[in-house]
């Protein structure tokens, strides 16, 4: 039985004073000296960061994004004391399949703005009405316009339960789920809930663009070229890319003071990941536009969510991946520049793989980098579940 609840319409309305303060803070930044290398190996290069920061201060237009968001149906609802913000885009096609799509860090629901139209109205984008979806995009607790957890315990398993309640509140009796990064972890936990429920859970299948799985025994004893590449990618991540996760999974509060006070600090913390984790040939703007990068950074800044978003690592990073096997239909879109690339045999140990696509291009931020490829894969993956 579902308890009484409310769904309240939500509109973004950032006061002018906050945008004025942001520009003032950028202008008064105290800059360090330049790096001593000619690449990104010490972090974001000073010259480029100053260029982007100046554009942010003088040219970037938050109101454009605000208008785009407010053109969509947005809501907030309280689920066990946690206020959840979400976009709910219903399709005009009566047989549309409901899907909940979950972002990660340093992402947000903004990643999915270019997916919503093609998923809800495929006929307008060269697709078939039979592939239509009702799309639900929630903001993770502590991210964006969702409230910040005031106590411990809001990890990925708990969020999976919250998402299940959300879909029930929206009246969806059968639905599917998709995610990458933390969204992959939450979506995996939804799959585990459905597996444990033995058919009584309302999630019929999941799709991931960053599955996490342990190596097979064969990979450990006699690794194939794909296994070797996966081991090498993991080693590179541990040696060169994992500093942010160590800090956020151990001392997110300490980091939060710096990033919540300095917009350029927040910009650098996120911008580095758009360079390292995208299929960008060395420059982030080859993969994602400058305005899109600043949309996401500004979203973090205006919601002051540096500490609260980092706290999800403290809650769940140690358990990212391990757990019971997911025995409901699972699709994977394997992008070549993903941070950690688990080969299919590894994933088949962890999931009931019913669909797998080796993508020709793209990295960690699949919805931003390759929205058309991701949309096509979602349509194909879930076609047999309709």
Residues taking part in catalysis? 181, 313, 364
Please state, in angstroms and rounded to a whole number, the distance separating the CA atoms of residues 60 and 26: 12
Query: Residue 303: which of 110, 26, 165, 123 has the closest Cα?
Result: 110
Tokens of 6: 């409310």
Please state, in angstroms and rounded to a whole number, the distance separating the CA atoms of residues 225 and 118: 36
Q: In the block, which residue shows the tokens 């006699």? A: 222
Q: Which residues of 101-125 are buried (b: 16+ CB within 10 A; e: fewer)?
A: bbbbbbbbbbbbbebbebbbbbeee
Please state, in angstroms and rounded to a whole number, the distance separating the CA atoms of residues 256 and 309: 9
Burial class (CB in 10 A: 0-12, 13-18, 19+), 328: buried
Q: In what order do the strands lie in the sheet with 74-79?
A: 8-9, 74-79, 82-89, 133-138, 97-102, 175-179, 203-208, 326-334, 351-358
User: Would you call the peptide bond into 359 cis, given omega within 30 degrees of 0 as the criterion?
Assistant: no
């Amino acid at each position: 039985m579902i308890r009484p609840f409310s769904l309240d319409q939500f509109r973004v309305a950032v006061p002018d004073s906050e945008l004025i303060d942001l520009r003032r803070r950028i202008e008064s930044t105290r800059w360090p000296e330049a790096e001593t290398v000619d690449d990104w190996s010490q972090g974001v290069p000073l010259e480029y960061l100053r260029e982007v920061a100046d554009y942010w201060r003088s040219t970037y237009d938050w109101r454009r994004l605000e208008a785009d968001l407010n053109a969509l149906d947005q809501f907030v609802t309280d689920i066990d004391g946690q206020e959840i913000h979400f976009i709910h885009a219903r399709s005009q096609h009566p047989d549309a399949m409901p899907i909940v799509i979950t972002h990660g860090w340093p992402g947000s629901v903004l990643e999915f703005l270019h997916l919503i139209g093609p998923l809800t109205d495929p006929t307008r984008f060269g697709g078939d009405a039979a592939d239509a979806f009702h799309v639900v995009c929630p903001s993770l607790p502590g991210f964006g316009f969702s409230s910040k957890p005031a106590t411990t315990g809001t990890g990925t398993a708990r969020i999976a339960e919250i998402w299940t309640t959300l879909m029930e509140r929206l009246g969806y009796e059968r639905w599917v789920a998709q995610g990458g990064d933390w969204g992959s972890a939450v979506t995996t936990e939804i799959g585990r809930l459905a597996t444990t429920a033995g058919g009584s859970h309302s999630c019929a299948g999941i799709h991931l663009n960053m599955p996490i799985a342990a190596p097979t025994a064969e990979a450990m004893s006699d690794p194939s070229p794909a296994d070797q590449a996966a081991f090498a990618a993991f080693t590179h991540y541990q040696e060169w890319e994992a500093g942010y996760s160590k800090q956020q999974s151990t001392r997110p509060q300490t980091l939060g003071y710096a990033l919540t006070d300095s917009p350029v600090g927040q910009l650098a913390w996120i911008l580095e990941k758009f360079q390292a984790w995208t299929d960008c040939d060395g420059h982030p703007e080859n993969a994602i536009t400058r305005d899109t990068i600043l949309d996401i950074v500004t979203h973090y800044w205006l919601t002051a969510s540096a500490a609260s978003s980092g706290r999800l690592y403290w809650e769940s990073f140690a358990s990212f991946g391990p757990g019971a096997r997911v025995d409901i239909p699972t699709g994977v879109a394997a992008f070549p520049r993903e941070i950690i690339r688990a080969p299919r045999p590894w994933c088949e140990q962890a999931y009931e793989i019913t669909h797998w696509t080796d993508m020709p291009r793209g990295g960690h931020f699949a919805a931003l980098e390759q929205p058309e490829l991701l949309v096509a894969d979602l349509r194909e993956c879930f076609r047999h579940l309709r």
